[in-house]
Amino acid sequence: MSAALVVLGDALLDRDVLGSVERLAPDAPVPVLDELEQRVRPGGAALAAALAAGDGRPVTLITALADDDAGGTLRRAIEECGVELVSLPLRGTTPEKIRLRHDGRSLLRVDRGRGELAGPAPAAARAAVGWAPTVLVSDYGRGLAAEPGLREALASLPRSHLVVWDPHPRGPAAPPGTRIVTPNDAELSGHVPAPAGHAPEHALERARVLRERWQAAAVCVTRGAEGALLIDGDAPPLSVPAPRVEVADPCGAGDRFASRLAGVLADGGSPADGVIEAVAAASRFVRAGGAGAAGRALRRHTELGASPDLQSVVARIRGQGGTVVATGGCFDLLHPGHVRTLEAARRLGDCLVVCLNGDASVRRLKGPGRPLVPERDRAAVLCALSCVDAVRIFHEDTPERLLEEIRPDVWAKGGDYAEAELPEERVVRRFGGRAVILPYIPGRSTTRLIEEAANRA
């Protein structure tokens, strides 16, 4: 199991307003967005925590939330990602970042909400800083990283604990002894201004200045499409290039980088290993559409299985010319019929992704008494099976949206269906896949197990 991680920082509510533009406003030469859908997701430090939890690790988020509608929405979004929340009271309104989007691109961003800490950090929040041997500080410049009690807790951590500090241009310095600081070019310039007419290679010298000034062991400058530059102690500088990616929406790439780097360090890897893996993870994240595309997937146990993330599982198999198989179901009280069906599905290709109905979805399909086993535990049991390569939880009634993301070559379903009855069949055919009905095993069902247990009680 992956090591635990504490994330400390400012949380935002990210809201995407999706619509279509077909005309200009009559009173000004501006597009009119006809709203079709709104999507919300954790933002800021909460996004970094959600992504780390999606990698399959236990995560605690220390942040401040206001007692308003946006704060309640953000709290639910954080908890749905499987993140344990330790919240401080925020006086004012919850910060929101609202993007108006058309055809996959942002037309306008609106920032609203303004709050400040309602008082000193409570003892529970200060104690939570030490709950894991690695802490990621995700500073969005709204005051949490500067809170005296939390900074004292960070400074008091034993030497065995690691601190990863993702700074903000207007934020405070990292505490002395921080293991690694991860500014981007703009953040580095905010703390160590570049001289007039400076060349790109001067970033190396300014990173050294920042490391000495903050007494950090290492500094990693993230440079977008140029990759990252690492200075770690007396080791030679390490430049890690980024794969070439067509960028449509880079939102959240920095949080993906920092959360993956912190995770590698938490699991015992070196900063060099962490930076290499973090550059690759951030590139995959951007290639997949950034935070906007990831919003639906930011749920509890979004990336479970043999590989650090679902995209890696699918990309690896496709890169080898293999066949990706997906199946789905509730899998409440896993029984031999389930296992035989999963094994049969796995034999149809080279990897098996299980699309698992979330708890709310199961209740709508099976009734208020189900599921008996929570989604997180059902996912963990499925991941323990050798025939399952990855699990993704979905919360709709059918996994059609998830199948659009995975695009499996084969959709396998066990039961007494006809192919035409499967709502997913038309989805997989649209991108060249096929649906397969696996043999139904009579007498093996969760409902029958529940009935037998009730009769014996």
Catalytic residues: 255
Please tell me the distance from the alpha carbon of residue 144 to that of residue 78, in angstroms, as a whole number. Answer: 18
Query: Residue 51: helix, strand or coil by DSSP?
Result: helix
Residue written as tokens 């062991």? 217
Closest CA to 377 of 358, 394, 352: 358
Cα dist. 338→21, 341, 349, 360, 382 in Å? 47, 5, 18, 21, 10
* Structural contact between residues 281 and 295, judged by C-beta atoms closer than 8 angstroms: no
77 Cβ neighbours under 8 A, 6+ residues apart? 13, 40, 41, 42, 46, 50, 298
In our burial notation (b when 16+ CB lie closer than 10 A, e otherwise), range 34-62 reads eeeeeebbbbbbbbbbbbbbbbbbbbbbb
Q: Which tokens in the block code for residue 179?
A: 């293991």
Closest CA to 290 of 19, 43, 49: 43
Please tell me the distance from the alpha carbon of residue 30 to that of residue 307, in angstroms, as a whole number. Answer: 45
DSSP assignment letter at 145: G
